[in-house]
Amino acid sequence: MKKYELLATLKPNLDNDEADKIVAKVEEIVTGFGGKVDEIEKMGRKKLSFDVKGFRDGIMFVQKLSIPADKIVDFRRQLKLNENIIRTMFVELKK
């Protein structure tokens, strides 16, 4: 399994409990695909440099994770299906 980093931006109108549930749901999706989350960093509310789906700020978090290569497409699709996630950046970490 390769290591990846996911930076996700959530809708800013969510409270802390709802944001934590979404972060936990993403972790659950990763483990469901046979991967594991190594580290989670919650960055809190940040101002965005441009409008993303009509929002000027968002709640951001970073997850460092490992996931099988054949499950990446399905994982990214699951992220897009979550209406509370407004933007993601998913990159492979080099050794």
What is the DSSP code string of 41-93?
EEEEEEEEEEEETTEEEEEEEEEEEEE-GGGHHHHHHHHHH-TTEEEEEEEEP
pLDDT in the model for residue 95: 72
Sheet strands side by side (includes 2-10): 36-52, 55-67, 2-10, 85-92
What is the mean pLDDT of each successive set of 10 residues along the chain, which is 95 residues long? 94 94 95 95 94 94 95 95 95 87
Give CA 66 to chain center in angstroms.
Answer: 13
pTM of the model: 0.89
- Give the other-Cβ count within 10 Å of 19's Cβ: 20
CA 49 from centre of chain: 19
Give the pLDDT confidence score for residue 14 in this predicted structure: 94
- Confidence (pLDDT) at 94: 85
How many other C-beta atoms lie within 10 A of the C-beta of residue 68? 13
Q: Which pLDDT value is given to residue 1?
A: 86
Domains for the chain: give ranges and CATH numbers: 2-92 (3.30.70.60)
